[in-house]
C-alpha cells in the first residue's frame, strides 16, 4: 500500500507509519474555542509523538432539522481555520459539500474531506480531486453508510481519472446503516478497504450516532452513544486503521452540534495514549 505524505508538514499515513490523529471540533463555534482546542490536542499529540491534524467544519450541511446549528459558513469559517493554521501551526481538515467550495477549501485545508452521504456525488468527487491534487493536499473520503467496503474502488477510480492520480486519497470508515436509527461498524471492512491500496481511518465519533434519534428533541436531531467512541476507536486500530478521526469539546453536553457523540477534551490524552499502544501492538 502506498504511504501518503503531506510534505509541508512532514506527516505520513499508511503501513508502518505512526497513527495519525485527525481531531478537533464537530463544527466551528468561535475562534477562541477553535484555537484552544487545537492547541490542547496538538500538545497531547506532540507529547505522544503522534502526527496531528486539526479538524472543524465551517458548515454542517446534513442536519436533521432546519433549526440545527450549522456553523459560521464558508467565508467566515475558512478565515477562522486559516487563523488556527497560522497561529497554532497545524494542518487543517474540513468538509466540503458542493463543487464550488472545493478550490477555496483546498487553498486552506491540507486534508479535504468528502462527507459520507456525498461520497458518490460524481461532480463533487471530481471537483474535490482536482482542487486537492492541484493544491498538494490529501483527500479524505468517508465511506457512505450505504456502501460495502469494496465498493470504495469506484470512488478511487473516479478520483484517479479526474486528477490523474489516486495516491493522495485516504478512505474513512464510519459505520453502516443497520435498521432504523442505528449504525454498526464491520471491523473486517477496514482490511477490505486497505486492499484497495488506500490508507484507512476510523471516524469513531460519527460511528456511534443514532441518526434522527435524540430523545431530547423528539427526533429533531441525531442521538449518540458517547461511551462507545473509545470502544470503536480501539477495535478499529486493532483491526488495522492507519488513523483515527475524533471530535472533542471542553463541555460536550453544551456542544452546538452532535453533543451526544463528542468526547470531553480533558480525556484526549488517556484515549490517544491507549490507541498508540494498540497501534504499536497491531503493527
Catalytic residue set: 26, 60, 258
Strand residue runs (E) in the chain: 4-6, 11-13, 20-27, 52-57, 92-95, 111-114, 138-142, 169-173, 176-177, 183-184, 200-203, 209-210, 223-224, 243-249, 263-264
Q: For residue 68, what is its C-alpha cell?
A: 440545527
**Whether 74 contacts 58, CB under 8 Å:** yes
Q: Which residues of 235-270 are buried (b: 16+ CB within 10 A; e: fewer)?
A: bbbebbbbbbbbbbbeebeebbbbbbbbbebeebbe
CA pseudo-torsion sign 66, 72, 78, 82:
negative
Amino acid at each position: 500500500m502506498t504511504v501518503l505524505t503531506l510534505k509541508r508538514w512532514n506527516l505520513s499515513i499508511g503501513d508502518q507509519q505512526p497513527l495519525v490523529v485527525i481531531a478537533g471540533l464537530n463544527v466551528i463555534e468561535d475562534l477562541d474555542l477553535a484555537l484552544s482546542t487545537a492547541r490542547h490536542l496538538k500538545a497531547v499529540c506532540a507529547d505522544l509523538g503522534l502526527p496531528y491534524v486539526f479538524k472543524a467544519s465551517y458548515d454542517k450541511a446534513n442536519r436533521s432539522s432546519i433549526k440545527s446549528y450549522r456553523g459560521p459558513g464558508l467565508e467566515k469559517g475558512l478565515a477562522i481555520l486559516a487563523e488556527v493554521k497560522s497561529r497554532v501551526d497545524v494542518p487543517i481538515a474540513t468538509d466540503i459539500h458542493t463543487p464550488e467550495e472545493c478550490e477555496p477549501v483546498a487553498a486552506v485545508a491540507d486534508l479535504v474531506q468528502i462527507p459520507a452521504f456525498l461520497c458518490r456525488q460524481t461532480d463533487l468527487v471530481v471537483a474535490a480531486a482536482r482542487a486537492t491534487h492541484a493544491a498538494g493536499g490529501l483527500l479524505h473520503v468517508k465511506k457512505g453508510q450505504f456502501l460495502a467496503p469494496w465498493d470504495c474502488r469506484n470512488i478511487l477510480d473516479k478520483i484517479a481519472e479526474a486528477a490523474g492520480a489516486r495516491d493522495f486519497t485516504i478512505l474513512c470508515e464510519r459505520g453502516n446503516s443497520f435498521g432504523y436509527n442505528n449504525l454498526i461498524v464491520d471491523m473486517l471492512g477496514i482490511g477490505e478497504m486497505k486492499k484497495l491500496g488506500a490508507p484507512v481511518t476510523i471516524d469513531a465519533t460519527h460511528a456511534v450516532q443514532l441518526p434522527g434519534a435524540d430523545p431530547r428533541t423528539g427526533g429533531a436531531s441525531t442521538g449518540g452513544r458517547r461511551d462507545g467512541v473509545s470502544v470503536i476507536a480501539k477495535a478499529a486500530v486493532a483491526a488495522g486503521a492507519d488513523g483515527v478521526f475524533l471530535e472533542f469539546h471542553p463541555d460536550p453536553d453544551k456542544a452546538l452540534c452532535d453533543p451526544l457523540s463528542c468526547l470531553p477534551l480533558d480525556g484526549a490524552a488517556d484515549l490517544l495514549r491507549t490507541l498508540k499502544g494498540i497501534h504499536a501492538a497491531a503493527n
